[in-house]
Structure 1
């Protein structure tokens, strides 16, 4: 049900959780199918158009990552109508975390890597010390992430092997103690999936690295906070980061494979910092 409003169409574009959708676009067509106006929402998700000729119009609201919504507007002699709040649902039915900062919780997250050994089995390792921040933007594709990993915290369950991995043959943690990742962009890759483009700095070498990211959902935690869960994977070539050490065993088989499969299971807490648990 619309009400009269002087000065064109007025609408507030919102998610189901009540968040503004500032990147939404409102398109208005007349009964003949001719476009009458096309306007982008403000940072507060508000759209106010110029006055229109009296009559019935079709209104369609679109936004990246959301299913389009259609509505009918009846414009009176005053030239306007108030459409109220037009609610957009995430494409695929997945609601993203509320916009703002999110802090990665290392205690409930894991950063692991898998390498092939002797062409037969896999060696699994994980980093025990890391942290980072995710900034969820009003426009999801403008979101960003930064993470820092302490290279010396590598743990494969074998002390001698871990010592070698920390050496200059591999991570070179004495010279380059920190591994960093900073995103540079995001593109959609399917339902609740994105490709995160970014730069990984490892051993003092910076290379572009894409993460295949899946969003698993958001929910409250026992400490009164709100948590979001993500999973991301990528593959790295050791030679891209000057990790050229290898030992060749019989028949030319390398002891360690040329690629590493990286797996990230991340929980992030809403806010600038992790909560104190007591």
Structure 2
């Protein structure tokens, strides 16, 4: 076998769409192979002894070029090539990832009386993340049960479910879907442009998304962790209820800070 190489990401995942090209001293291509599902590229052939240039490319990754010295075996054994994401960003392997609601959280914080915060969460939600070979073409979507809001106070939660706020009888779900390519915002960080539908009103809401890492779980699966944050203005979704206490201070702040801590499982 004239060529053997293994192509991986920085966190050890195979790059199954990588292409390995071997050129001789004159720049002519002598071997070429695409990596398989395990990130291994193989090509038959016998190479003359001497130096060769090996170039590894993959969509969404920075190319890697190196020199391989071929001896009497006629084989270029490149070993393991680690590709970095273009722009220095990393993501899990391409594919569909399903949000594990049992190990994720959707929380929100609102200001109360201008001096403190009230924390709440939604306990029922689903979501999918489609990670594309080109990172920026990835997509996300989520559905949240409006009636699952929980602030730890039964009376307050009942009011939040009423027509003054979420109006869950008429609008039982909140939905979010990305609508454009991701925008790189730094190493392992992106801005997701998407639309949030709340109380039947749809508005553009950007998410600040951070990738936290990938690892195996005890059940034979692969998991990835993300954190996302967004800020909502209540009036954008026709949630105008409020009370004014002394000195003109509103009981409830005009903005809502939403934080999502997500653990997703890769589908087979």
State the TM-score, normalizing by the size of structure 1: 0.74
Deviation at 1:36, TM superposition (A): 10
In 2, Cα distance between the equivalents of 1:263 and 1:179? 15
- Structure 1's unaligned 5+ residue stretches are 5-10, 47-55, 75-81, 273-278
Matched, 1:143 2:141: no
In 2, Cα distance between the equivalents of 1:243 and 1:64? 44
Matched, 1:222 2:222: no
Structure 1 counterpart of 2:174 = 179
Structure 2 counterpart of 1:7 = none
Matched, 1:70 2:65: yes
Matched, 1:269 2:265: yes
Partner secondary structure for residue 182 of structure 2: strand
Query: Are 2:15 and 2:35, in contact at CA under 8 Å, matched by a contact in 1?
Result: no
Instruction: Please provide the CA RMSD for this pair.
Output: 3.7
The counterpart of 2:152, out of the listed 148, 157, 168, is: 157
Structure 2 counterpart of 1:257 = 253
State the TM-score, normalizing by the size of structure 2: 0.76
Matches within 5 A, 1:1-278: 15=9, 16-21=12-17, 66-72=61-67, 87-90=82-85, 95-184=90-179, 185-271=181-267
Query: Are 1:59 and 1:71, in contact at CA under 8 Å, matched by a contact in 2?
Result: yes
In 1, Cα distance between the equivalents of 2:65 and 2:161? 58
Query: Are 2:150 and 2:157, in contact at CA under 8 Å, matched by a contact in 1?
Result: yes
Structure 1 counterpart of 2:46 = none
Query: Are 1:100 and 1:137, in contact at CA under 8 Å, matched by a contact in 2?
Result: yes
Deviation at 1:96, TM superposition (A): 2.3
Query: Are 1:237 and 1:258, in contact at CA under 8 Å, matched by a contact in 2?
Result: yes
Partner secondary structure for residue 173 of structure 1: coil
Partner secondary structure for residue 260 of structure 1: strand
Deviation at 1:197, TM superposition (A): 1.1
Query: Are 2:89 and 2:189, in contact at CA under 8 Å, matched by a contact in 1?
Result: no
Query: Are 1:229 and 1:268, in contact at CA under 8 Å, matched by a contact in 2?
Result: yes
Structure 1 counterpart of 2:44 = none
In 1, Cα distance between the equivalents of 2:231 and 2:58? 32
Partner secondary structure for residue 171 of structure 1: coil
Alpha-carbon spacing, 1:91–1:203, altered in 2? closer, same or farther (3 Å): same
For these two proteins, the number of residue pairs brought into alignment is: 248
